[in-house]
């Protein structure tokens, strides 16, 4: 690890039903598998704790953020979330006032559960609204409608949450510029601290991929917005959110002052993180690890090993072999490229001094040709200390990022 500060991601792969656009590792849950999964998670946490935790034999780490994602983590009873967080706190040291987030979906929340979360120590919610239009929610295959979201948000405030993100999406089936603007305005009426605004991407392996690649045969579904409408939605997002005091600090993320998501910012700035759970990823010492994706294999692995014999499973001095199904050792070129295209997602861009400190090279000695070209094209700006995307560069960010692949 580059420093002792780490983020922790906990993957809960369960949901009520998969949405039509979802390509995440998630599936509907039965009650009998919940305790088995939580017990396996706790076992994995205890083993990594022996390596990186309070008495880490590799390195002692301090946890500054926790993000419980999915799936739909809020489908789990509070007792399970408590057990997971309690295990983390038993095994790892935490920084003062860590950011602890849980993803939630309307339809799986109530006032009691939200109050439990606060008492457990969770201090940030990320609520998946996606749209304020019930017809658009139905097309997405969401289990909730707008009224359920509104009640969930009000309950969250009543429970004491003062740091809430709302997820919304644009370019949805049947969505118009007017309906998307209505979603933005309704979200703003709740005054959340953070808003994540993503454009729908049709991924292979999802119901939407089959529907919209054969749309003439599935015309009962509403059409996708055309390219011009999608572009107008994109511009409306920054225009409307900006006029209400939300600052765009990353390509798809907006916040009130001082309310940026600390955990996700760690991903964009190259911070080390440890992922626990089915299919989760970790990034340590320029090595990326991918956990087992097969549920039964994950459960069986946890049953077969223990914290007491963790030392014999150290691999590359950083990894527990049984939980890992894929390892990518980043070359210096890979690390440099990632530093650039992840850092440039942030509106403040990258610090040239950080590049020098990490790679012992001047950034222009590596990317002089690319940087000069992109500056001439008006896509990036160099203010002397930072390099960042211009508004035009943000519009064609994928093109800009491709220039930094070595």
5-268: CATH, from 1.10.274.10, 3.20.20.70, 3.40.50.720, 3.40.50.11540 = 3.20.20.70
Please state the rounded mean pLDDT for residues 207-227. 82
Sequence-distant (≥ 6) Cβ neighbours of residue 209 within 8 angstroms = 202, 203
Structure tokens at 35: 């305790």
Asked whether this chain's domains 5-268 and 333-402 adopt the same fold, the reply is no
Please state the rounded mean pLDDT for residues 363-377. 96
Q: What is the pLDDT of residues 72-97, one digit of tens each?
A: 999 999 999 999 999 999 999 999 99
Residue 340, pLDDT above cutoff 60: yes
What's the start-to-end Cα distance of the chain, in Å?
Answer: 23
The pLDDT confidence band at residue 379, using thresholds 50, 70 and 90, is very high
Position 2 scores a pLDDT of 46
Residue 98, pLDDT above cutoff 70: yes
The pLDDT confidence band at residue 1, using thresholds 50, 70 and 90, is very low
Structure tokens at 78: 């509070």
Q: Which CATH class is domain 333-402?
A: mainly alpha
Residue 213, pLDDT above cutoff 90: no
61 against 315, higher pLDDT: 61
The pLDDT confidence band at residue 273, using thresholds 50, 70 and 90, is very high
Please state the rounded mean pLDDT for residues 372-399. 96
Give percent above pLDDT 70 in the chain. Answer: 94
pTM for this predicted structure: 0.94
Q: Where do the structural domains in the chain lie, given as residue ranges?
A: 5-268, 333-402
Neighbour-count burial for 336-367, b at 16+ CB within 10 Å, e otherwise: bbbbbbbbbbbeebbebebbeeeeeeebeebb
The pLDDT confidence band at residue 382, using thresholds 50, 70 and 90, is very high
Residue 316, pLDDT above cutoff 60: no
């Amino acid at each position: 690890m580059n420093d002792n500060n780490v983020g922790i991601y906990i993957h809960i792969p369960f949901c009520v039903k998969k949405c039509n656009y979802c390509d995440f590792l998630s599936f509907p849950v039965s009650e009998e598998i919940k305790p088995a999964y939580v017990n396996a998670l706790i076992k994995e946490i205890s083993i990594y704790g022996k390596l990186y935790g309070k008495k880490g034999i590799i390195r002692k780490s301090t946890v500054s953020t926790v993000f419980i994602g999915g799936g739909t983590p809020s489908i789990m009873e509070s007792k399970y979330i408590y057990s997971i967080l309690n295990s983390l706190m038993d095994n790892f040291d935490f920084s003062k006032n860590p950011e602890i987030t849980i993803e939630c979906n309307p339809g799986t929340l109530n006032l009691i559960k939200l109050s439990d979360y606060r008492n457990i120590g969770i201090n940030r919610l990320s609520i998946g609204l996606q749209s304020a239009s019930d017809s658009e929610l139905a097309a997405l295959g969401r289990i909730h409608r707008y009224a359920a979201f509104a009640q969930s948000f009000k309950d969250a405030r009543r429970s004491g949450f003062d740091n809430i993100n709302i997820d919304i999406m644009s370019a949805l089936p049947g969505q118009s510029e007017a309906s998307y603007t209505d979603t933005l305005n309704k979200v703003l009426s709740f005054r959340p601290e953070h808003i994540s605004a993503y454009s729908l991407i049709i991924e292979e392996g999802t119901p939407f991929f089959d529907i919209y690649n054969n749309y003439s045969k599935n015309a009962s579904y509403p059409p996708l917005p055309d390219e011009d409408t999608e572009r107008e939605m994109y511009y409306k997002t920054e225009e409307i959110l900006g006029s209400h005091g939300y600052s765009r600090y990353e390509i798809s993320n907006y916040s009130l002052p001082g309310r940026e998501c600390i955990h996700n910012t760690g991903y964009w700035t190259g911070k080390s993180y440890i992922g626990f759970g089915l299919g989760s990823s970790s990034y340590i010492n320029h090595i990326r690890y991918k956990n087992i994706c097969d549920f039964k294999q994950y459960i069986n692995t946890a049953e077969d090993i223990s914290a007491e014999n963790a030392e014999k499973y150290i691999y590359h001095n950083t990894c527990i072999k049984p939980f890992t199904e894929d390892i990518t050792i980043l070359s210096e070129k890979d690390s440099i490229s990632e530093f650039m295209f992840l850092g440039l997602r942030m509106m403040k861009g990258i610090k040239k001094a950080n590049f020098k400190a990490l790679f012992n090279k001047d950034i222009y000695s590596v990317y002089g040709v690319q940087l000069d070209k992109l500056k001439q094209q008006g896509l990036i700006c160099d203010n002397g200390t930072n390099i960042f995307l211009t508004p035009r560069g943000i519009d064609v960010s994928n093109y800009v990022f491709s220039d930094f692949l070595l």
